[in-house]
Structure 1
Amino acid sequence: MSSSTATVCTIIAAKNASGTIGRSIRSALRESQVAEVVVVDDGSTDDTVQTARAADDGSGRLQVLSLDRNRGPAFARNHAIAHSSAPLIAILDADDFFLKGRFGRLLDRQDWDFVADNIVFIDSRSDGLELDVPEFEATPRFLDLRGFVEGNISKRGASRGEIGFLKPVMRRAFLDAHKLRYREDLRLGEDYDLYARALLKGARYKVVHGCGYGAIVRPDSLSGKHRTLDLKRLYEADRAILASPDLPGDARSLFSQHERHVRGRYELRRFLDVKAEIGLLSAGLRALARPAALPAIVGGIAADKLDALTARHGAAAEKAAGPRYLLEGRPVSRL
């Protein structure tokens, strides 16, 4: 693929993102491989639409669409896919940005259906600083279904470390051939669900360790505000996959493991909701009536308390360490 060929559609689903959407759009428009930038305003109540339009560079590549009410990122992304045509699709969150030259480095081969690169996480308190991102060796590898699903099971102490945070470029032809789109009832894990179903269809998911995506970490980000219902719908998405009679046995084991993990998080969140509503004693009595949920509740509470004890020191160390990378990378040596 020639790096001068504009083949990428960048999709940005945005809600109340007027403070960051301009930078996101500009980071996409400066890439020569980007043929389209489709912003879908998902029922914002601020100036997201006006700010997005103000970021237009006059090249005719920017399209800003508006939804009359909030429908969630999955619906917004599907809406953008339906209103675009470039052969490659790149998702960009409304408060994130592409590092300069991302696609020139990423799209140099044809041996993939999905291809993702490294992510640098930047604390919102320092997101205005100039980034000094090292050049990492590509060390390409392919994710299989096991590596992907197991990589989406959260581990205590590994903040935002799941493979599901990768932002792959996707071939539209593969999505269309297998009738794959985001599940619009999901507001949590919609990326995980789409990529998992693609891998079941035989997608070649390539990962390189060079860094091309900048993610801003904010304590008030929408991705950190999940409802109890969102967790329920996510484990129900696993159950929908598990309901397929053609699902191979090894895949069934993997999705069962992920379903149990998410359902455990749901049970803990549900207990905390009930506790807030009717008090600890009454919530505890209700929990005792559902013994299957008790391990998740007790284990989750204990782990949360442990996290609270170490969070202050961990946050200070992370801030002092500067930018953090999703994937371990080996810097390119300069002789």
Structure 2
Amino acid sequence: MCVIIAAKNAADTIAAAISSALADTYVTEVIVVDDGSTDGTSEAAAEADDASGRLRIIRFDVNRGPSYARNHAISCSSAALISILDADDFFIPGRFSHLLSTRDWDMAADNIVFVDQRWVSHFNTLAIDKFSPETWFLDLPTFVDRNISRRNKQRGELGFLKPVIRREFLDRHSLRYNEKLRLGEDYDLYTRALALGARFQIINNCGYGAVVRADSLSGRHRTDDLKQLADADRTLLDSGMLSGGGLEAVREHEHHIRSKFHHRQFLDIKSQQGLVAAAVYGLRNPSAVFPIATGILTDKFDGAIRNRSTVPQVKPELRYLFPATAKTQ
């Protein structure tokens, strides 16, 4: 199995990520792609080498984005199984013995524990809840629906999943990450895989630790990143590959992301050119008027709530992507 880590300016976290991968005996190769870092990420990665010969570090002088970095790593490996690990996350000991205990899948993922960055240095994997080992298969409508964020609900998009993927399935369908995307690249790959008939197995066991950061890349996306993700949905909708619930779910997701894009575009134009220019943008795009108005009202309401909030920073309870007693909630 090859573990792929695309990293940019991750000098503070990359060693822990690599060490968690090298600690698993199922891992035969770890490929780190330093995607144009300026903070010594490659050097920090090299310090995590366990001298087993399994670690390979590739450095790009210019940032190419996570999709390009991952695709390049896939092309550099011949491993039958591919596993993605983000540079500030970690595998929980014994992860792959659970994931690989069954074979009838094209992609297999497990539960995720979300750890606040303020407490990660004190995190003990022994504190993770024990989950029953049942497996189930994720379908396309459920997956896409669970990637539409809802107000007043904690983030729990299934695009956070980091499955093990069979190379044979990727190669048979010429499936790779969409290199236009710097946001939602995992969602897009998994959606296209499910549309192609991938058997996406989920196990309730918790094997992946995701560090929640206020300054994460997904939280600092550009306005154009939203447009590219909505356009990727539109390409899939126009492909003729979808039908039934999958078609409806992707259509709703495209509308959701496109609405976010229009709202952000309006705010960008207002900031750069003034309110009149922003209003002209809305008038020239009638379908954008409602999402713009809704977004503005939501921002003002949420801002008022935050201003009144005085909640102290108390160490939170561990949060999981899948509750112990439910499969898809």
- What is the DSSP-based 3-state SS (H/G/I as helix, E as strand, rest coil) of the residue aligned with 1:206? strand
Partner amino acid for 2:48? A
Pair 1:147-2:142 in alignment: yes
Give the counterpart letter for 1:145 in structure 2: L
Structure 2 contact 119–315 (Cα < 8 Å) conserved:
no
Please state how far the C-alpha of 1:253 moved relative to its aligned partner: 2.4
- Work out whether residues 195 and 241 of structure 2, in 8 Å CA contact, stay in contact via their aligned partners in 1: no
Asked whether 1:307 is paired with 2:277, we answer: no
Between the aligned partners of 1:97 and 1:214, the Cα distance in structure 2 is 5
1:76 counterpart letter in structure 2 = A
In 2, Cα distance between equivalents of 1:317 and 1:210: 32
**CA displacement 1:80-117 (0-9 Å, x = unmatched):** 10111221111000011111111112210012111111
The Cα shift of 1:241 comes to 0.9
Matched, 1:106 2:106: no
Per the TM alignment, residue 249 of structure 1 is displaced from its structure 2 partner at its CA by: 4.8
User: Match for residue 281 of structure 2?
Assistant: 286
1:315 CA drift (Å): 9.4
Q: Which residue of 2 aligns with 1:5?
A: none
Change (3 A) 1:315 1:85: farther
Q: What's the CA shift for 1:202?
A: 0.7
Q: Which one of the candidate residues 219, 228, 240 is aligned to 2:223?
A: 228
Q: How does 1:265-276 map to 2 (within 5 A)?
A: 265-276=260-271
Q: What stretches of structure 1 of length at least 5 have no aligned partner?
A: 1-7
Listed as ranges, the matches of 1:179-258 within 5 Å are 179-258=174-253
The residue that corresponds to 1:94 in the other structure is: 87
Determine if contact 1:42/1:67 at 8 Å carries over to the other structure.
Answer: yes
Is the 8 Å Cα contact of residues 122 and 322 (structure 1) preserved in structure 2?
no
What are the Cα deviations for residues 4-33 of structure 1, in whole angstroms up to 9, with x where unaligned?
Answer: xxxx21100000100100000000000011
Q: Percent identity?
A: 52
Distance, in Å, in 2 between the alignment partners of 1:307 and 1:209 is 33
Look up the SS of the partner of 1:125 in the other structure. Answer: coil
CA distance in 2, matches of 1:58, 1:112: 33
TM-score normalised by structure 1 residue count? 0.92
Query: How far apart are the structure 1 equivalents of 2:309 and 2:160?
Result: 21
After TM superposition, give the deviation of residue 151 of structure 1 in Å.
Answer: 1.0
Counterpart Cα distance in 1 of 2:78 and 2:297: 49
Q: Look up the match of 1:50.
A: 43
239-248 or 256-265, which moves further after superposition? 239-248
CA deviation map 1:186-240 (0-9, x unaligned):
1011111111111111100111121111111111121211101101111111111
Q: Distance in 1 between matches of 2:249 and 2:211?
A: 31
- Distance in 2 (CA, whole Å) between partners of 1:57 and 1:204 is 34
Aligned partners of 2:309, 2:164: CA distance in 1, in Å?
A: 32
Per-residue deviation, 1:317: 7.7
Among candidates 154, 170, 175, match of residue 170 of structure 2: 175
Whether contact under 8 Å (2:105, 2:200) holds in the other structure is yes
Query: Aligned pairs, how many?
Result: 324
Indicate the residue corresponding to 1:78 in structure 2.
Answer: 71
Which of 43, 64, 69 is the aligned partner of 2:62?
Answer: 69
8 A contact 1:90–1:169 mirrored in 2: yes
C-alpha displacement at 1:243, in angstroms? 1.8
Q: Does 1:124 align with 2:100?
A: no
Q: Do 1:199 and 1:205's aligned partners in 2 also have CA atoms closer than 8 Å? A: yes
For structure 2, the 5+ residue unaligned runs are none
